[in-house]
């Protein structure tokens, strides 16, 4: 039995956060680790605002006993399980029946665990509005529902046929309640997409200190100035460096490869294999740029092969490097007008790690497997990297 202290109860519909299964749309453009930590921060911020109320009890409803024990052990929240329910609508029916019929609560409000903008004032307002209304709902800006409340078992058919987790959820729920009195709370935002974190920065900073601190430490709010360039508006060629990093592993030559992940600025090529590459900073040596970009993108430190290193003769007080890269590439049609200086470098140290703003899955691949992959599926490679690797591997 729940430890009932009040006539009102708030139930958090909760699942233990599992990497790869929370904030999945945010994970697609960041990483599963980032989305996992973000989900935990959202819940802690929510909990800090609504816990220890003198107006209502707070419980969780989970799918399994293991999840319930996790919330009890980590956050000291009691609750109950609904693991036998086949659908979300059925689960909601069981939750409200359990709270009103079994545990005797006069009013019950249900909220999700991942919307950190819900405040205790919202919940108290919801309970107050149930005095004169059958239902109270909290509509989301995107068409979802962040709060559902009723004052007895009510008409449990209101959940049937609702298209949950879509832009139709609130409208479907409202239609099911025709003939009943409803009070709708103020619209609230949810954090479903990476752009939501940027657009709602001010609201996050005001009401979600744990989440805001995590995003700040993750450099998520770094200024966009000089960070992203609209390449399609440029009327000039775009100078970049490409780095073919070699290492010897038990007598086999391996090459450092990664998956391109720039869905905001280059969606057409995101998901393709590529070599570490990037722009040359103002007055930066191309060789240094190649090493720097590789280190920033993959955490691997390399050094340019001696035959490609530069000399620095002076001309009238100016430093002008003279060097011969491995090859030069120029894109004359297609994606963008890249002019690429390709270098070959030697691995020094570091284990490949992804940079959530740049790539996914940096890894070593032996040249035999890489050659086979290029021959069989050349379309899975980013254009500049494909041509550089075909030259390097002597693939015609």
Residues 251 and 299: beta-carbon distance below 8 Å: no
Work out the pLDDT band at 60, boundaries 50, 70, 90: very high
* In this structure, CATH architecture of domain 233-392: Alpha-Beta Complex (3.90)
Strand partners, 314: 319
Alpha-carbon distance 149 to 109, whole Å?
A: 4
Q: What is the pLDDT of residue 308?
A: 74
**pLDDT above 60 for 107:** yes
**pLDDT above 90 for 110:** yes
What is the H or E stretch that residue 235 is in? Answer: none
Instruction: Provide the CA 179 distance to its chain's centre, in angstroms.
Output: 41
* Torsion on CA atoms 118, 167, 213, 298, rounded to nearest 10: 160
Q: What are phi and psi of 90, to 5 degrees?
A: -65, -40
Beta strand 79-81 pairing with 57-62: parallel
> Position of tokens 């909601």?
92
**pLDDT above 80 for 130:** yes
Residues 257 and 274: beta-carbon distance below 8 Å: yes
Q: What is the pLDDT of residue 381?
A: 97
Task: Spell out the domain ranges in the chain.
Answer: 8-217, 233-392
Q: What is the pLDDT of residue 223?
A: 62
What mean pLDDT do residues 316-329 have? 86
Q: What are phi and psi of 344, to 5 degrees?
A: -110, 130
Alpha-carbon distance 351 to 298, whole Å?
A: 8
Q: What is the pLDDT of residue 227?
A: 46
**pLDDT above 50 for 170:** yes
Helix (H, G, I), strand (E, B) or coil at 250: coil
- pLDDT over 90 percentage in the chain: 64
CATH superfamily of 8-217: Spore Coat Polysaccharide Biosynthesis Protein SpsA; Chain A (3.90.550.10)
What mean pLDDT do residues 248-257 have? 96
Give the mean pLDDT of the chain.
89
Give the orientation angle of helix 209-217 with respect to helix 32-50, to 10 degrees: 160
- The alpha-helical segments, DSSP class H, found in 76-141 are 88-97, 120-129
Give the orientation angle of helix 383-392 with respect to helix 367-376, to 10 degrees: 130
Residues 81 and 91: beta-carbon distance below 8 Å: no
Residues 27 and 352: beta-carbon distance below 8 Å: no
Planar angle of CA 206, 23, 212, nearest 5 degrees: 20
Residues 266 and 335: beta-carbon distance below 8 Å: yes
- pLDDT over 70 percentage in the chain: 94
Q: What is the pLDDT of residue 28?
A: 73
Alpha-carbon distance 90 to 109, whole Å?
A: 16
Question: Taking the alpha carbons of 205, 209, 211, 217 in that order, is the dihedral positive or negative?
Answer: positive
**pLDDT above 70 for 248:** yes
* Torsion on CA atoms 189, 194, 200, 203, rounded to nearest 10: 80
Work out the pLDDT band at 120, boundaries 50, 70, 90: very high
What mean pLDDT do residues 304-318 have? 75
């Amino acid at each position: 039995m729940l430890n009932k202290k009040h006539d009102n109860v708030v139930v958090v519909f909760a699942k233990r956060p599992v990497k790869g299964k929370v904030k999945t749309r945010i994970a697609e453009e960041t990483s599963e680790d980032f989305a996992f930590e973000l989900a935990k921060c959202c819940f802690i911020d929510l909990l800090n605002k609504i816990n220890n109320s003198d107006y209502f009890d707070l419980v969780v409803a989970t799918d399994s006993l293991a999840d319930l024990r996790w919330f009890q052990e980590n956050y000291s929240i009691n609750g109950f399980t609904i693991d036998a329910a086949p659908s979300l609508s059925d689960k909601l029916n069981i939750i409200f029946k359990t709270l009103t019929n079994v545990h005797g609560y006069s009013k019950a409000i249900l909220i999700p665990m991942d919307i950190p903008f819900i405040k205790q004032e919202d919940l108290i307002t919801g309970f107050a509005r149930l005095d004169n209304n059958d239902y109270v709902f909290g509509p989301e800006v995107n068409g979802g529902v962040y709060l559902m409340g009723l004052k007895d078992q009510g008409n449990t058919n209101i959940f049937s046929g609702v298209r949950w987790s879509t832009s139709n959820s609130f409208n479907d729920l409202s239609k099911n309640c025709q003939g009943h009195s409803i009070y709708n709370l103020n619209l609230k935002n949810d954090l479903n997409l990476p752009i939501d974190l940027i657009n709602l920065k001010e609201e996050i900073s005001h009401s979600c200190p744990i989440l805001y601190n995590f995003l700040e430490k993750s450099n998520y709010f770094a200024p966009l100035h000089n960070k992203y360039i609209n390449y399609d508006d440029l009327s000039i060629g775009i100078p970049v460096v490409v780095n073919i990093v070699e290492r010897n592993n038990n007598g086999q030559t391996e090459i450092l490869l990664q998956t391109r992940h720039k869905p905001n600025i280059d969606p057409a090529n995101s998901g393709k294999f590529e070599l570490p590459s990037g722009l040359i900073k103002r007055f930066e040596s191309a060789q240094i740029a190649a090493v720097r970009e590789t280190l920033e993108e993959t955490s691997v430190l390399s050094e340019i092969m001696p035959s490609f290193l530069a000399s620095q003769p002076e001309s009238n007080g100016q430093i002008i490097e003279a060097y011969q890269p491995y090859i030069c590439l120029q894109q004359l049609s297609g994606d963008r007008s890249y002019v690429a200086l390709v270098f070959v470098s030697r691995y020094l140290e570091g284990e490949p790690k992804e940079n959530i703003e740049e790539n996914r899955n940096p890894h070593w691949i032996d040249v035999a497997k890489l050659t086979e992959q290029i021959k069989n599926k050349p379309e899975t490679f980013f254009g500049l990297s494909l041509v550089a690797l075909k030259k390097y591997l002597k693939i015609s």
